[in-house]
Amino acid sequence: MIERQGASRGELREDFVRRCITPYVTSELVLNAFKAVDRGDFTPFKDFPYDDNAILLGEGSSLSQPSLVASMINLLNPNREERILDVGTGSGYTAAVLSWCAKEVHTIDYDQRVSEAAAQRLAKLGFDAVRIHTGDGAKGVVGYAPYDAILVTAGIVEIPQALFDQLKDGGRIIAPTIINKNPTQCTSSQYDLHVVYGIKQENALRLCVFYPVAFHRLTSDEHGGWSPQAIDKKRSYEIIFDDKTPKKLHPAEPRAIGLYEKNEDDTKHIEANLKLLESFGMTQEEFLSLWEQQGMEKPQARTLLSLHPESFENVLSNMKAVRFL
């Protein structure tokens, strides 16, 4: 990481992409999109746009951690012939990146003030391929459906029925959702969410489960939301968990939980990450036990130790930030 003081904005941006984006992206199209879109244009905090941290924008809204956004968009694997729906506009940064990778992007946020601010910002910066909508994200934007791909950047109980209905057959969806857990037992201070990658196949959604994350919850009374009314609503589509074939679903991301294939860097990463654990005052067993208490199997939790040390340090920092540590 270069010294912030005295560095030009261009140097900071290059360093940001090198540290926070490149390790998480295999698609050249996605990487070029992050190079083209300046995160500094989307945050009021000009001192911190190039750190790998989420930035709170207001109640229930944030500029997500860039490495996480990069990983999720990479999983989505967009192309320039597609129409994409982005659920959770926030600052507009994610929609701007997606607009470099797709033909048409629609983004929706429940907060009108957030939507209006994002619309003004995107218009000023020339992102004409992005259309802003205000409304319930769980309802999607039916007037422009079907979508080739949908990205959700707010925590949901499960994939909302409306989003499933608006997805093309064969379309992909990426979202942070709870897995095999009663939503009434989840708390906002826990990593109850996992990123899932889904492919629509007729009336079924084939899901592959990836890494644990923390997100603001989607505000909705519709299916997929967190209110009692939403939780009582049932889906009509079938869910098929396909964790045994993550490479077939998306070859670019083999780090499905419990299915991580070891490579030559794993031993070095594990050694470095065990030292990081020590610096946080933890042993390996204590770390694994914490994740077991959150409902994760020990073999799944152990795969976290194989992450790149920068990513693993972010996991530890986020755990500490939400008082998980």
Which residues are tagged catalytic? 64
- Own/partner contacts of 310-314, CB < 8 Å, gap of 24 or more, are 310/19, 310/23, 310/52, 311/23, 311/24, 311/67, 312/269, 312/272, 312/273, 312/276, 313/276, 314/52, 314/65, 314/67
**Is residue 81 packed enough to be buried (19+ CB in 10 Å), middle (13-18) or exposed (0-12)?**
exposed
How big is the chain by its Cα radius of gyration, in Å? 19
76: tokens are: 């989505």
**Is residue 272 packed enough to be buried (19+ CB in 10 Å), middle (13-18) or exposed (0-12)?**
middle
Q: Is the peptide bond before 176 cis (omega within 30 degrees of 0)?
A: no
Helix (H, G, I), strand (E, B) or coil at 224: coil
* Gap between the Cα atoms of 41 and 283, Å rounded: 40
* Gap between the Cα atoms of 276 and 316, Å rounded: 9
Helix (H, G, I), strand (E, B) or coil at 54: coil
